[in-house]
Chains A and B, each alone.
Chain A
Amino acid sequence: EPEVTQTPSHQVTQMGQEVILRCVPISNHLYFYWYRQILGQKVEFLVSFYNNEISEKSEIFDDQFSVERPDGSNFTLKIRSTKLEDSAMYFCASGRTASNQPQHFGDGTRLSIL
């Protein structure tokens, strides 16, 4: 069964450094998403992406965040200057159709900021 893949599984970064999290969505899916889950807390929406542009973003997704689909398969989340509070699990998800349709999640990247 096709799945969303994310790399790396764990990223350790010094505060203030830039980090790029990578995702390969399911191949026939058109909608892509990033979520984060701080340890012990709920899953929080960051951003949705369709047709090579951001379609929705939350208040969390401020100027330090950006997303890109650099080629036909990868979908990336960049955090420009990481803070301690960025430490979390970051999940990529994809969906075949609109944002109110089922989304399938990758295994996540655990980001640890030191």
Chain B
Amino acid sequence: QKEVEQNSGPLSVPEGAIASLNCTYSDRGSQSFFWYRQYSGKSPELIMFIYSNGDKEDGRFTAQLNKASQYVSLLIRDSQPSDSATYLCAVSGNQFYFGTGTSLTVIP
């Protein structure tokens, strides 16, 4: 069984702080790594994707991948109350495997 593990949280950060979300995966053959944001009762919304080891930045978001450690993370800089949501890590080989998500609350 291929697993994607995330801390369920809740993670609370003050507005303007950096939020750090982490994810580990079990399948060394995984090729692609994704972060989705899901507001309560809504569908997953793609935030970032990363394929290679290292960092990838897009605006306030940075994805980090370490394939040797089977670890992927998402940093959100200058966190805003609107960032409050559940963040889903997804890992892909032939299928997408989602983690259970980390609930983030940004406190004004």
Residues of A within 8 A of B (CB): 33, 35, 41-45, 48, 55-56, 58, 89, 91, 99-108
Contacts and interface: CB of A to CB of B under 8 A. Distances in A.
Nearest to B33: A100
A101 B34 CA distance: 9
B92 A91 contact: no
Contacts, number: 52
- The size bracket of the interface on B is 20 to 34
A99 B100 contact: no
Interface of B: 31-32, 34, 36, 42-46, 49, 88, 90, 92-101
Contact of A42 (B93, B94, B100): B100
B31 A43 contact: no
Contact of B100 (A41, A89, A101): A41
Contact of A56 (B31, B32, B34, B95): B95
B96 A42 contact: no
A100 B88 contact: no
Q: Which of A99, A100, A103, A104 has the most CB of B within 10 A?
A: A100
A100 B93 contact: yes
